[in-house]
Amino acid sequence: MLFNKIKFISANRELKDNDNTHDPAYMFRKIFSVEKGFKKAILYTAGLGLCYHYINGLSISDDILTPATSDYIKTIWYNKYDVTSFINEGDNIFASLLGNGFFNESFKTPWNYDTAPWREVPKLIYRLDIYYSDKTVVVESDESCKVTDDCYITYNQLRSGEHCDLRRYNHTWTQINYDDSKWEQPVRSSKPDNIVFREQKSQPIRECEIFKTSLIKKTYENTYLFDVGQNISGYIRIETEENCNDHLIIRYAESINEDGTLNLNKMDKFYKYSDFQTDKLICNGKKEIWSPKFTYHGFRYIEITGLSKEPEKNMVKAVFVHQDIERISHFECSDELINRLFKMGINATYSNLFHIPTDCPTREKLGWTNDARASCEQMLINFNMKDFYIKYMQDIYDTMLDNGALPGIIPTSGWGYDWGSGPIASGILFEIPYRYYIYAADKTLLENSFPYFLRHLDYIESRKNQDGFIAYGLCDWAGPYEHLEKSPVPLQLTDTIMYYAFLSVASSSADILGLSLENKWIAEKENIRAKIMNKYIDDSGNCVVDEQTAIAMLIFYDLYENIYPLKEQLKRNIEKHDYHHYCGMLGLKHLYEALTKCSLSEYAYKIITANGYPSYIDWITNRDATTLCETFQESNSQNHHMWSDFMAWLMKNVSGIQPNPEIPGFKETFINTYFPSNLSHLSSYMITPKGKISVSWVKTGNEINYTLFIPKGIKAKIKLQNAVFYDSNSNSEECTDGIFNYRLSAI
């Protein structure tokens, strides 16, 4: 075992509660000697909290906010670094800076992290293996280290902010000649029973982009507003030369009021016992460039109070921080509003990739599973998600209770099993492994998840009401209703349909894995199907609940004898709402594909591009949004990803690139392009496990010049939705690898 004989070390301190002025980071140092002839050096490290490491005064990595969050009493994620180039023969210094992160949240919020079962003073563990030709020497965390909390970072809380006193900062503290004689010995602490250390292999969080200030405005005496033009996750980079002892208060927001003051969209109400999105800096009279270490925020606007003179243009920048995950898609068309929407979805997704799919970088930074499920397919289309999802699935397994229950946020401190859960949330357990298999033809996640499928199905079955239906947890959440939590669609209907969907995934997964599914689940699937159809479809074939979510979900999951009545009912409902959606996040996840299934892609496209409330375009015209918002109503987060499924629809339909679920991993690809009447051209690609597939087209009048590139090893089945091949007057074609140019006629 990697850390079998190595202990965590920490400062000998008591836990603090609601101390908003003095909650410092911890500084560790250890001198070690290296003999001549060493070959390489590998560092393994984890913090219960967040940590940064330095060898001989140099940062060993550009990773930030490591290690990854987890259920700390079950899994601890560690990082591995090759540090050979940092090591010298003779004496060396290993230094670490340790902050709280989610491990030690000291203030009260509705999500109860201050009472988490793991909460203690932050701890550090590491081993540094130094390899010689004939031996390996291990340098480890132990009492020979030195530690202090007399740190220049005087306060740090991931979901509140950071305070830094630059008067205390001495850059030589990570160097070997620094005097640490007044520092203390750390204390050892044991690891929780049955803890598992797992290597963090997914992409690190990094500083990925810098945004310059586009507007500076004085709002009060010594107070200035900075607009960086883009809503992001991250923090400030400030170049300051204020007088010694000057105090700067730095606040962040996604929106502003008409007078230039910050509009927090009422999110600060959840932070009654701490500052919300606030950093504080005490200056030292020298020219310094500063950013926080142990926090990040969601913002477009930065307000700084305490400046003694008008700021220069390049004094303040914004750093876009997120997991550095590769983008694997491209979508660009002739409608700049659609291009902007797609970019908003990309930036909202990036803003919420922090080793878990967070809901927002502002209010919570929590892994809401209903959000993660709603965005799963577009994330697989647009980003290289393999390692990310492997890590997140382990978080899901760790969070499942013995009875199979799952919470609404993962990881969790214990909150979320009684509220925010239900099938709308726990669907993530089934969605990621099955969807990943379709896109990657990789059974790994299905194999690992299958036992958890069965445990959770047992739990859902135990929650049946007296009529044999399911009704617990979140409803069709966050629709354009008067109250977000009051959907017009019965919870019994949406939950029971989701239960049916889970049974279907379990059945398909058993077939894929060559396993035998218990007869009770096969019978249960048919029983639930019959119950849904008997109760919610009338004699004419219509859904008795005339709402978009209800109708779309019946169509999506083939819960009908005849699709035509449901198709006509869905058409009428959308026309009644003037081609706008009237559903929550669960419904919208199913609506676009249900429409396309009914040969109504025109209706899906009209909803995506609709003007006025409720619509995506309304976010742009009325809020100047640069990321996707949480709700179509105002006064909530302006940087959520949960409404992003339109991106998957655009890639799968307007581009047309789709995997074949029966032949996964794009070995056989469907090209099912739809040509909106108002678009004149499109350029797109998707990097699949089999290579880069690209589709582009230019439309002139009724004629379309269509170009398709298929990599070697892929068979493509083209079935155009509203065009035909000019020469054959057919909408179907098959091709293998190569570049293909077609002349089409729109119909």
Residue 283: CATH number of its domain? 2.60.120.260
Can you tell me the mean pLDDT for 87-91?
97
Whether 45 has a pLDDT exceeding 80, the answer reads: yes
pLDDT in tens, 132-185: 999 999 999 999 999 999 999 999 999 999 999 999 999 999 999 999 999 999
Domain boundary among 597, 631, 655: 655
Cβ burial of 351 (10 Å; 0-12, 13-18, 19+) is: buried
Beta strands 223-240; 316-323: pairing state:
antiparallel
Model confidence at 124, pLDDT cuts 50, 70, 90, reads: very high
317 and 350 in a single domain? The answer is no
Q: With CA atoms as reference, report the closest residue to 251 among 267, 275, 283, 271.
A: 275
pLDDT in tens, 191-226: 777 899 999 999 999 999 999 999 999 999 999 999
189 and 305 in a single domain? The answer is no
Question: Are the CB atoms for 151 and 26 separated by under 8 Å?
Answer: yes
212 and 193 in a single domain? The answer is no
Q: What's the confidence (pLDDT) of residue 679?
A: 98
What's the domain range around 538? 329-655
Whether 694 has a pLDDT exceeding 80, the answer reads: yes
Whether 1 has a pLDDT exceeding 80, the answer reads: no
Q: What's the confidence (pLDDT) of residue 634?
A: 85
Whether 9 has a pLDDT exceeding 90, the answer reads: yes
Sign of CA dihedral 285, 291, 294, 300: positive
Three-point CA angle 230, 615, 702, nearest 5°:
100
Q: What's the confidence (pLDDT) of residue 94?
A: 98
In a domain, 468, yes or no: yes
267 and 350 in a single domain? The answer is no
pLDDT in tens, 369-389: 999 999 999 999 999 999 999
Cβ burial of 178 (10 Å; 0-12, 13-18, 19+) is: middle
CA distance 687 to 671: 14
pLDDT in tens, 559-597: 999 999 999 999 999 999 999 999 999 999 999 999 999
227 and 184 in a single domain? The answer is no
424 and 547 in a single domain? The answer is yes
Measuring CA to CA, how many Å separate 363 from each of 263, 296, 330, 359, 480?
Answer: 13, 11, 30, 9, 21
Q: What's the confidence (pLDDT) of residue 188?
A: 95
Model confidence at 413, pLDDT cuts 50, 70, 90, reads: very high
Question: Are the CB atoms for 184 and 147 separated by under 8 Å?
Answer: yes
End-to-end CA distance of the chain: 65
In a domain, 432, yes or no: yes
Measuring CA to CA, how many Å separate 274 from each of 17, 638, 661?
Answer: 11, 21, 49
224 and 187 in a single domain? The answer is no
Q: Which two tokens stand for residue 145?
A: 């280290």
In a domain, 2, yes or no: no
pLDDT in tens, 657-687: 999 999 999 999 999 999 999 999 999 999 9
Q: What's the confidence (pLDDT) of residue 87?
A: 97
Q: What's the confidence (pLDDT) of residue 310?
A: 93
588 CB-side CA count, 13 A = 32
In a domain, 558, yes or no: yes
Domain boundary among 288, 323, 358: 323
Domain CATH code at residue 411: 1.50.10.10
Three-point CA angle 363, 366, 371, nearest 5°:
100
Three-point CA angle 277, 278, 281, nearest 5°:
150
645 and 718 in a single domain? The answer is no
Model confidence at 484, pLDDT cuts 50, 70, 90, reads: confident
In a domain, 593, yes or no: yes
CA distance 733 to 700: 22
Q: Which two tokens stand for residue 150?
A: 């007399």
**Chain-wide mean pLDDT for the chain?**
97
416 and 524 in a single domain? The answer is yes
What residues does 718 pair with on adjacent strands?
Answer: 671, 733
Domain boundary among 174, 201, 228: 201
* Beta-carbon count within 10 A of 403 CB: 10
Question: Are the CB atoms for 94 and 32 separated by under 8 Å?
Answer: yes
Q: What's the confidence (pLDDT) of residue 485?
A: 83
Q: What's the confidence (pLDDT) of residue 374?
A: 97
Domain CATH code at residue 694: 2.60.420.10
Domain count, the chain: 4
The percentage of residues in the chain with a pLDDT greater than 90, rounded to a whole number, is 97
Q: What's the confidence (pLDDT) of residue 351?
A: 98
Whether 554 has a pLDDT exceeding 90, the answer reads: yes
In a domain, 662, yes or no: no
297 and 153 in a single domain? The answer is no
In a domain, 74, yes or no: yes
Q: What's the confidence (pLDDT) of residue 718?
A: 98
Q: What's the confidence (pLDDT) of residue 483?
A: 83
In a domain, 663, yes or no: no
pLDDT in tens, 613-648: 999 999 999 999 999 999 999 889 999 999 999 999
246 and 387 in a single domain? The answer is no
Q: What's the confidence (pLDDT) of residue 191?
A: 77
381 and 521 in a single domain? The answer is yes
Q: With CA atoms as reference, report the closest residue to 475 among 573, 370, 554.
A: 370
Q: What's the confidence (pLDDT) of residue 344?
A: 98
CA distance 280 to 373: 37
Q: What's the confidence (pLDDT) of residue 588?
A: 97
